[in-house]
């Protein structure tokens, strides 16, 4: 199978020379600017190799290959430059993960050898990814089958979690949504070590004995241990180990609490607590009120995303809880601002203008305004777990 190679250079004569060298062996696409190159990737990709000049109008090769890396991570990138500049080479490697940096004019043998090596690297990446993907998918299927057979109750709970976990993660703009879905699906895998009678008691809300409770609390670490050595599941294993940890405490002996928990683990915590409350017969908003009374247990940003989802706030915003004194003009209310008698002062989904802000402050001089107040805040990109 002929692999596709994209050649990007603002000099049409150089592009022609590249084509003469490579056309018999590879499928070639050419572009005379970085913008044309990006359009080619979007319309004709994926490419095995992208070869780019450094000096180009509008966008240089470093910036272009950095974009290529984001658009097509598997594509192997080569840069050519007439500038024998070590700083350019270092910047190219650091920002664009360049496979080769070649100086122009480049000897034909070196150019061909570099392109062939890049194609081999691409083939290797694809082979490794296919092997990992197939192995990973097979392993996950086996684990889920084991959970469904050994602990149907735990499997039933795990099956309810991925949808809400994904919605919360999406509001936080978590990049790898597949990780949180998988973490939710496998969150109860450690329950295969727990007697089913204990899980039944837990689901019915029956109090566990001290030894039973300790056994239940150990299941996240059991799950983490099971998954930790499986390729690509390292973040998921960490999240599963964190799923019962509280945000406000740090108790190393119990290994259940601490502020150093992962973002995925924090998401699992809120969706698991929500699910447990829904099982008692509460609706989602009633469950949310109970969770608000224990607000300090949760990562504030994750809890804000859960609130936004349950309150049907438009995408791109989180719900933030603030005091009256913290309100400033330009904020948008997540729900009505009321006085202590329940009278609406400012409706939900309203922008606090200078006039409304002053009106609110004047009201506060003569009546008690119900606090805390909920406002909408634009979502920032969540930092990925490292």
Are 80 and 163 in a shared domain?
no
Q: What's the structural domain count of the chain?
A: 3
Is 312 contained in some domain?
Answer: yes
Is 133 contained in some domain?
Answer: no
Question: What is the distance between the alpha carbons of residues 157 and 109, in angstroms, rounded to a whole number?
Answer: 61
Residue 380 Rama label (left phi>0; alpha psi -120 to 50; beta) = beta
Is 279 contained in some domain?
Answer: yes
Among 52, 170, 158, residue whose Cα is nearest residue 100:
52
Are 61 and 122 in a shared domain?
yes
Are 88 and 165 in a shared domain?
no
Are 35 and 99 in a shared domain?
yes
pLDDT tens figures, 324-333: 888 888 888 8
pLDDT tens figures, 96-110: 578 888 888 888 889
Is 64 contained in some domain?
Answer: yes
- Please give the pLDDT value at position 90: 67
Q: How confident is the model at residue 81 (pLDDT cuts 50, 70, 90)?
A: confident
Is 78 contained in some domain?
Answer: yes
CA angle 320/163/386 to nearest 5° reads: 70
pLDDT tens figures, 277-336: 998 889 988 998 899 899 899 998 899 889 888 887 766 677 888 888 888 888 888 888
Among 145, 188, 142, 193, residue whose Cα is nearest residue 165:
188
Alpha-carbon Rg for the chain, nearest whole angstrom, is: 28
**Collapsing DSSP states into helix, strand and coil, what is residue 152?**
helix
């Amino acid at each position: 199978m002929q692999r596709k190679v994209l050649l990007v250079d603002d000099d049409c004569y150089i592009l022609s020379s590249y084509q003469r060298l490579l056309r018999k062996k590879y499928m070639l696409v050419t572009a005379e600017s970085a913008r044309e190159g990006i359009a080619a990737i979007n319309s004709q990709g994926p490419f095995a190799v992208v070869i780019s000049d450094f000096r180009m109008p509008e966008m240089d090769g470093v910036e272009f290959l950095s974009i290529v890396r984001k658009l097509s991570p598997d594509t192997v990138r080569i840069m050519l430059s007439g500038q024998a500049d070590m700083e350019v080479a270092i910047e190219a490697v650091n920002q664009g993960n360049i496979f080769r940096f070649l100086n122009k004019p480049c000897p034909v043998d070196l150019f061909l050898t570099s392109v062939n090596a890049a194609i081999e690297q691409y083939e290797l990446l694809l082979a490794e990814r296919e092997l990992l993907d197939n192995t990973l998918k097979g392993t996950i299927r086996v684990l889920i089958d084991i959970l469904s057979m050994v602990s149907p109750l735990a499997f039933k709970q795990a099956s309810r979690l991925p949808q809400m976990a994904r919605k919360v993660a999406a509001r936080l703009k978590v990049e790898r949504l597949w990780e949180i879905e998988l973490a939710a699906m496998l969150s109860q895998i450690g329950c295969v070590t727990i007697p089913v009678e204990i899980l039944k008691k837990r689901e019915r809300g029956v109090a566990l004995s001290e030894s039973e409770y300790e056994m239940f609390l150990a299941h996240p670490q059991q799950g983490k241990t099971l998954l930790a050595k499986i390729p690509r599941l390292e973040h998921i294993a960490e999240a599963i180990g964190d799923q019962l940890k509280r945000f406000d405490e740090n108790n190393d002996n119990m290994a259940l609490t601490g502020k150093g928990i992962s973002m995925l683990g924090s998401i699992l915590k809120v969706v698991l607590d929500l699910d447990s409350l829904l099982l008692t017969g509460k609706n989602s908003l009633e469950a949310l009120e109970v969770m608000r009374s224990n607000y300090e247990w949760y990562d504030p940003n994750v809890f804000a995303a859960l609130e936004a989802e349950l309150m049907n706030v438009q995408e791109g915003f989180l719900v933030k809880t603030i005091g009256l004194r913290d309100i400033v003009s330009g904020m948008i209310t997540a729900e009505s601002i009321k006085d202590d008698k329940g009278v609406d002062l400012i409706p939900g989904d309203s922008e606090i203008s200078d006039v409304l802000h002053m009106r609110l402050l004047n009201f506060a001089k003569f009546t008690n305004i119900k606090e805390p107040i909920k406002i909408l805040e634009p979502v920032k990109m969540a930092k990925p777990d490292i």
